Structure 1
Amino acid sequence: MWTVTAALLRPVWRSLPWRALGAAGGLGLLVAGGSRLLPGQAREAALGLVLLRLVALVGGLGLAFLLDDPARPTTEAVPVRRPVRAGLRLALVAPLLAAWWTATLLLLPAAARPPLGAVTLEAAATAGAALALAASSVRFRAEPSPGTGMAVALLTLTVAVLLLPRRWSLLVPPNDPNWAVAHQWWAVILGVAGLVWVTCTPEPLSRRPLKARPPVTSPCGTSGPSRTS
């Protein structure tokens, strides 16, 4: 098992959607780095929080493509189960994702950095939601390339969050009385996303069991081959 999994490292690495991931990563770094070009009076924590939330969304849009694999119908026959293959994709991207998020935090001027733990939780929940959407599409629709549709779904969910009444809003500033409660909900979203990922990565059970073949009836009306005495 471990030998087969290790043998998959190179082909899985090569099959990752690097264009989508690279585009999202580059755009996120540009958004964070662009804050240093703003006038000094504009570099405040409120603006930094908006920029980091935008960066987190961009990263989530990239992760929506993580399970894209046009060759999935031919790779289903490999002796490694889908949870291992999907987990391997995530394990290969996770260190790069952590380094990318750290770089975006460092690119922000110190005066523009909001509470980093809380905004990192928001980013993790956004990433988890993107992965959960992709995993559910692969599970229930057997979609080889769910990225585009799931990116649109993530954008739709983001718009829905933006339209929530203020007392239920998840995108509150640090000085808002609902800051702590909002991040409790972000933690719930992250937990639910993880549960959906674990539930949806296994292969679906066979929907159509094989039917037993009817017995062959001989011309004499008896089952099986006819005998001559």
Structure 2
Amino acid sequence: MRGVIRALAVPVWRTLPWRTLGAAGAVGLLIPGLPRLSGAEPAGWVTLLLLRAAALVLGLGLAFLLDDPARPGTTPVPTGRAVRTALRVALVAPLAAVWWTAVLLLVPGAHRPPTGDVTLEAGAACALALALAGLTVRHSEDPHPGRPAATALLAAALFAPLLLPDDWPLFVPAGDPRWETAHDHWAWLLAAAGTIWLLTLHEPLRRPFRRRSPRPRRSG
């Protein structure tokens, strides 16, 4: 297995959507970085909002991680989807961790919310993005699952505060009495999204039905 992973590492690295990931990384760094460049010291609630926006941008970028224009040609290869997908995540995960550390360091320490809890929120957003992309890959043959996955993630982020019941809070300000309860919910969301993503790694038993075009009749 190690030999297979080593042989796949370079080809998979080359097929990763680096332009999309790089654009998401740049935008995500600008969100908390611009106030610091201007010399402004945002309030605590603004800082939390900026970090959540950066985490959402990271999730939107990772939603495109499974985009692979060569997917129709890689479907019949001996190496299963689980190995190829896990390798994609493994190659990007260290870079994402370094990027998130840089985002946290861009926020002034005096106004920085609890880093562990905010990192939990970012992890849940990333896991949800991967789960949505994995579901799209499993239930369609679209080689670009990033668009529907990113759209669904953005819709969830926008409408979740409006649709969730009051006794199941997620987006609460730092210092709110419901902070710990909210992050228990974030932990459940992370576990659920991670489980769904793992389940999407298996190859489907049946391929989506394709209507075959009728063969032209031979004349004469």
Q: Would the TM-score normalized by the shorter structure come out above 0.5? A: yes
**For residues 109-124 of structure 1, what are the structure 2 equivalents within 5 Å?**
109-124=108-123
Q: CA deviation at 1:39?
A: 5.6
| Cα distance between partner residues in 1 of 2:70 and 2:204 | 18
TM-score by length of 2: 0.89
Distance in 2 (alpha carbons) for counterparts of 1:204 and 1:83:
11
For 2:130, the equivalent position in structure 1 comes to: 131
- For residues 113 and 35 of structure 2, the distance between their equivalents in structure 1, rounded to whole angstroms, comes to 13
Taking a change above 3 Å as real, the CA distance of residues 24 and 207 of structure 1, as seen in their structure-2 partners, is closer
Identity %: 55
Quote the offset at 1:76 in angstroms: 1.6
- The alignment partner of 1:168 has SS state of coil
Structure 1 unaligned regions, length at least 5: 209-229
Report the aligned-residue RMSD. 1.6
How has the CA–CA distance of structure 1 residues 133 and 104 changed in structure 2, closer, same or farther, with 3 Å as cutoff? same
> 1:167–1:178: 8 Å Cα contact kept in structure 2?
no
Q: Which moved more, 1:72-81 or 1:46-55?
A: 72-81
Which residue of structure 2 aligns with residue 161 of structure 1?
160
State the match for 1:53 in structure 2: 52
Shift in Å at residue 120 of structure 1?
0.4
Indicate the residue corresponding to 2:139 in structure 1. 140
Q: Which residue of 1 aligns with 2:25?
A: 25
Letter paired with 1:175 = G
8 Å CA contact 1:68, 1:144 repeated in 2: yes
- The separation in 1 between residues aligned to 2:71 and 2:152, in whole angstroms, is 22
Q: Which amino acid aligns with 2:187?
A: A
- The one-letter amino acid of 1:147's match is G
Q: How far off its partner does 1:112 sit?
A: 2.2
> Which protein shows a greater Rg?
1
Matching residue of 1:77? 76
- Distance in 1 separating the partners of 2:24 and 2:129: 13
Counterpart-to-counterpart distance in 1, 2:21 and 2:189? 23
Unpaired runs of at least 5, structure 2 = 209-220
Q: Distance in 2 between matches of 1:37 and 1:11?
A: 38
| Mean Cα deviation higher: 134-143 or 92-101 | 134-143
Where in structure 2 are the equivalents of 1:26-45 lying within 5 Å? 26-37=26-37, 40=40, 42-45=41-44
- The amino acid that maps onto 2:132 is L
- Summarize deviations over 1:133-180 as a string: whole Å, max 9, x none: 000110112321110111111011011213145553311012111111
Does the 8 Å CA contact 1:64/1:147 hold for their aligned counterparts?
yes
CA contact (8 A) 2:127 2:193 kept: yes
CA-to-aligned-CA distance 1:79-129 (integer Å, 9 cap, x gap)? 211100000000000000000000000111112211101000000000000
